Amino acid sequence: MKSAVQPYSRTDVEPGLTKIILFEIVFPMILLILGITMGLLQVLFRAGIIKSQSFLGINYYQGLTLHGAINAIVFTTFFAVAFGHAVIRFYTGKPLLLGAAWWSLILMTVGTIMAAIPMLTGSASVLYTFYPPLKAHPAFYIGLVLLVIGSWVAFFSWIPVFQKWKRENPGTKMPLAVLGVFATFIVWFIATIPVAIEIIVLLIPWSLGWTQTVNVPLARMLFWFFGHPLVYFWLLPAYVMYYTMLPKLTGGKLYSDFAGRFTFMWLIAFSAPIGIHHQYTEPGISTTWKFVHAFFTMLVAIPSLVTAFTLAASMEHGARKSGGTGLFGWWKKLPWLDTDRWMFAYLFCGLFIFIFGGITGIINASYSLDNVVHNTAWMPAHFHQTVAGPVFLAFIGGSLLLLSTLGGKEIALKRLNVWIPYLWTLGIMVFSTGLFIGGIAGEPRRTNMGLSYTNPASPLYQPSWNVARVAGTIGGVIMFLTMLLYFVIFFGTLLRKKTSEGVLELPVTEPYHDEDIVALQSLRPWLVSTVILLIVAYTMPFVELAKARYEGAPRYSPASPVALRK
Amino acid sequence: MTTTTIGIEKRIVITAALFVLTLTGVIAMSVKVFGFGLPTCLTDVRPFRDGKVITQAPKRYEIHYLARMWRFEPADISIPPGSTADIYLSTADVTHGMQIVGTNINLMAVPGAVNYARVKFDQAGEYLVVCNEYCGIEHHQMAARIHVTDRAAAPPPPPVVAAALGGQELLDKYACTACHSLDGSPMPGPTFKGLFGSKRTLADGTIAVADDAYLLESIEKPNAKTVKGFDPVMPETTIPPAEMRAIVQFIKTVK
């Protein structure tokens, strides 16, 4: 189906920046082949189809570490930086600071390779949450730090570019996409400070043997101070695409500019003071502060609810402009399988999955309800409906968009491409349904169940978990096959001959209601609120930890119950 | 097209806010009225190093669970239906999780701290206790059982497996291979390769032959004899005799 709407606007880009963005898209995509393969192995191990510690020389927990680190940390960080470069360049119309962009690329790439080597050789099988006192090779921690610093360099290099734009355009509102990218990286900056303290002050000296023990409750609180805003760092670039691309792709306008600005500002303020909702079942934190974090977590759901409404209204506006009528009849006018507006399917499917990811997120945050689902298979089900749903679809769609426009190449297998998000949605929904059911029944996450709970020869065999694991496996296989098709399209496009000069082409959405609310004109009051909220949410929990003086833990290898000497 | 009316947007934000405030109210009510709580910060209980069951009164128990790579101590508990148990959880090594499947008990075992929850077992049956936080390469084998039965004074039922599992599966089940290699590679404990029948130089300089009796003793009371160059760190085991013999038979085949 061909579209009548031409949704794309164009900007010429310096060849240096094109090279940087294309590298930051292609390099993590190559790693993603490994990450996705590890995902397939996880479901086969868990289902008991592979009944062993290792497959093809890769231990289950080593593969799990690779799956999480590549898919959720490396791929997402690289894409966020590449996308940020593109958005800032496109909307300010100003050349970026290429030197800084190169340094950012080099730091992130070196860091990734440094962390990948111990993971691949099996000396960092600590999962991407790297809870001490399980110890990884120091290169793993140092590599992660370099990856993060590289992303900071990119962020800082955009600020002077934007300030120049602002001086030249007094009285003009900050473009919504630019606000979204800044929100993404402000959240990321807030998140990465506590984890940098955890890694640099606690873990690196301890892993090198300079200090003998580590305070585990403190390390865990610092980790989750990072761990929750991390998910908004993943989600925000997808939100930028939803607000600034999706309405245009349907042929309409963004229903409310206010809703977009409110969402980004609110997420800056409330994404971080809520990390303790990951620690409900832990000792060392009083129930008072667990409840405060539960309350703040509920508040962070508000912008997502507002987003759901605004985007539905925007899509309806687009569909009605394209001739849609009736209470539900306008749905037929959305560009479901339009090969020119293929990004619509990637974004829409992500939003559909996020309905379930969002609801289960509210369930997880609901204080004592967490007792039922904490650390069970329910969690990866929720996780795949959020980071592997809206985030992942927006990021692989965005990667393909940047590759084809900046590379000046036609997308390979266009008609297949538009089906990818639907197949992925099917896979995610089947997979997650299985894991939700298994989680409620007590099936643990992150467990090589094929050797115990799903193995009829084991005394731990749990036949009542079988329905869940069958659904999980079928869904996982669908996801894997879908990604194989995606890789054929992505790398097929990459290897094609250039058919035009590479330019940056993005769908640009105009607002339908373009309100100017005083409270949303400047970031400053929101940044001040953010700091105040963080002080309120975390001062007393850290004081409680300091007062309790927990004895430290020595180093452990995941392979031995005997503490390591050095 | 621009407009200054923000009536609908305002209503949406207010509706969303009311929705989440209502949810928060429901949670607060579940805590205050129904007592569905979460673990809190305990600072008056020091981390312990032994698991045990203390009977405080009829149907009132205190269970001290020690989580360690890769088992819970105690591994098997029998208590009568209607019992209330105060569960304290500590760890001997890394971070673990403990879920009593079929109950609302789901606790993290964090090094340096003690966790606590209270549970009432109304229904008779066998409750599976699983470790649900990654704790190393044998994490999937870390589980225990609580038997809620009227014959509570009786010893726990014999393990289902007897020696139905082969020696190699038993090595996996009891996580022996976490410290003992099968191919001669160095690990925290002596390798099983070529072990049977070999002469062992002990820490005190004496020499022992690794025969059946030596191997059985080394499984049951691991630190009775320590091989030179190794630490006396292996925990005592409660492996049933049939399974111990199966393990020894298997070790004989590792050459």
Tokens standing for residue A341: 């507006």
Rounded Cα distance between A165 and B103, Å, is 59
Subunit contact B94:A556, Cβ cutoff 8 A: yes
Rounded Cα distance between A251 and A461, Å, is 54
Q: Which of B19, B21, B49, B137 to mutate to test the interface with A (most CBs of A within 10 A)?
A: B137
Subunit contact A283:B39, Cβ cutoff 8 A: yes
Of B24, B111, B133, the CB nearest to A216: B111
Rounded Cα distance between B157 and B172, Å, is 22
Which one of 2.60.40.420, 3.40.50.300, 2.40.30.40, 2.70.98.90 gives the CATH number of domain B52-148? 2.60.40.420
Residue type, A487: F
A93 in any annotated domain: yes
A49 in any annotated domain: yes
**What residues of chain B lie within 8 A of the CB of A552, using their CB?**
112
- Rounded to the nearest 5 degrees, what angle is found at the Cα of B176, between the Cα atoms of A455 and B217? 125
Q: A492: which residues sit within 8 A by CB, 6+ positions away? A: A412, A413
Evaluate whether the domain defined by B167-253 bears CATH number 1.10.760.10.
yes
Of A367, A552, A556, the CB nearest to B38: A367
Determine whether A486 is an active site residue: no
Residue A30: how many CB atoms within 10 A of its CB? Answer: 10
Q: What is the phi/psi pair of residue A73, to 5°? A: -110, -55
Q: pTM (2 decimals)?
A: 0.88
The number of folded domains in chain A is 1
Rounded Cα distance between B112 and B117, Å, is 17
The ipTM estimated for the assembled molecules is: 0.92
A55 in any annotated domain: yes
Q: What is the phi/psi pair of residue B57, to 5°? A: -165, 170
**Which secondary-structure segment (H or E) carries A486?**
helix A466-494
How far is C-alpha A170 from the geometric centre of its chain's CA atoms? Answer: 34
Which of these, A40, A395, A114, A1, lies nearest to A235 by C-alpha position? A395
A278 in any annotated domain: no
Residues within 8 A of B (CB atoms), A 62-101 only: 64
* Partner residues linked to B208 by β-bridges: B200
SS (H, E, C) B174-204: CCHHHCCCCCCCCCCCCCCCCCCCCEEEECC
* N residues, chain B: 255
Rounded Cα distance between B111 and A551, Å, is 8
Q: pLDDT of chain A along its 566 residues, tens only?
A: 444 557 889 999 999 999 999 999 999 999 999 999 999 999 999 999 999 999 999 999 999 999 999 999 999 999 999 999 999 999 999 999 999 999 999 999 999 999 999 999 999 999 999 999 999 999 999 999 999 999 999 999 999 999 999 999 998 899 999 999 999 999 999 999 999 999 999 999 999 999 999 999 999 999 999 999 999 999 999 999 999 999 999 999 999 999 999 999 999 999 999 999 999 999 989 999 999 999 999 999 999 999 999 999 999 999 999 999 998 899 999 999 999 999 999 999 999 999 999 999 999 999 989 999 999 999 999 999 999 999 999 999 999 999 999 999 999 999 999 999 999 999 999 999 999 999 999 999 999 999 999 999 999 999 989 888 899 999 999 999 999 999 999 999 999 999 999 999 999 999 988 877 888 888 999 999 999 999 999 999 999 998 888 889 999 999 999 999 76
- b/e for A5-21, b at 16 or more Cβ within 10 A? bebbeeeebeeebbbbb
Q: Specify the 3-state DSSP secondary structure of B227.
A: strand
Q: Specify the 3-state DSSP secondary structure of B61.
A: strand
Rounded Cα distance between A188 and A151, Å, is 9
Q: B114: which residues sit within 8 A by CB, 6+ positions away? A: A283, B42, B45, B46, B47, B48, B88, B89, B90
Which of these, A220, A244, A235, lies nearest to A270 by C-alpha position? A235
A70 in any annotated domain: yes
DSSP for residue A564: P
Q: Which residue matches tokens 């097929």?
A: A492
Q: Specify the 3-state DSSP secondary structure of A7.
A: coil
Distance from CA of A409 to the nearest CA of B (A): 35
The catalytic position among A382, A392, A453, A490 is A382
Q: Confirm or reject contact between A291 and chain B (CB < 8 A).
A: yes
Determine whether A445 is an active site residue: yes
Tokens standing for residue B245: 């013999």
Rounded Cα distance between A296 and A542, Å, is 18
Subunit contact B23:A298, Cβ cutoff 8 A: yes
Q: What is the phi/psi pair of residue B67, to 5°? A: -90, 135
Subunit contact A447:B139, Cβ cutoff 8 A: yes
Residues within 8 A of A (CB atoms), B 56-115 only: 68-70, 89, 93-95, 97, 99, 101-102, 104-108, 110-115
Which of these, B158, B65, B48, B46, lies nearest to B119 by C-alpha position? B65
The catalytic position among A85, A278, A384, A555 is A384
Determine whether A382 is an active site residue: yes
Determine whether A446 is an active site residue: yes
Tokens standing for residue A246: 């999706």
Domain ranges of chain B: 52-148, 167-253
Tokens standing for residue A146: 């370099």
A206 in any annotated domain: no
Residues within 8 A of B (CB atoms), A 418-457 only: 441-442, 444-449, 451-453, 457
Rounded Cα distance between B149 and A536, Å, is 48
Q: Residue B161 — pLDDT band, cuts 50, 70, 90?
A: very low
CA distances, A209 to each of A144, A213, B92, B158 (Å): 19, 9, 21, 45
Is residue B157 over pLDDT 60?
Answer: no
| Structural domain range at position A110 | 10-169
